[in-house]
Amino acid sequence: MAGSALFRLTGAVLVCVIVGAAVQWCAEAQDGCMIVYYDMVPCFDYLSNGGSVSQDCCGGLQNVTAMVNNTASLQATCYCMINVAAINSTLAVGLPGNCSINLPYQLSPDADCSTLTYSSL
| pLDDT tens digits, 44-76 | 999 999 999 999 999 999 999 999 999 999 999
- Domain definitions of the chain by residue range: 2-120
pTM: 0.73
Which residues are CB-neighbours of 111 under 8 A, at least 6 positions away?
A: 78, 81, 82, 85, 105
Give the pLDDT confidence score for residue 61 in this predicted structure: 97
Which residues are CB-neighbours of 13 under 8 A, at least 6 positions away?
A: 34, 37
95: burial class by Cβ within 10 Å (0-12, 13-18, 19+)?
Answer: buried
**Which stretches in the chain have pLDDT values below 50?**
6-7, 10-12, 14-30
In this structure, CATH architecture of domain 2-120: Orthogonal Bundle (1.10)
Mean pLDDT of the chain, nearest integer: 81
Give the pLDDT confidence score for residue 119 in this predicted structure: 80
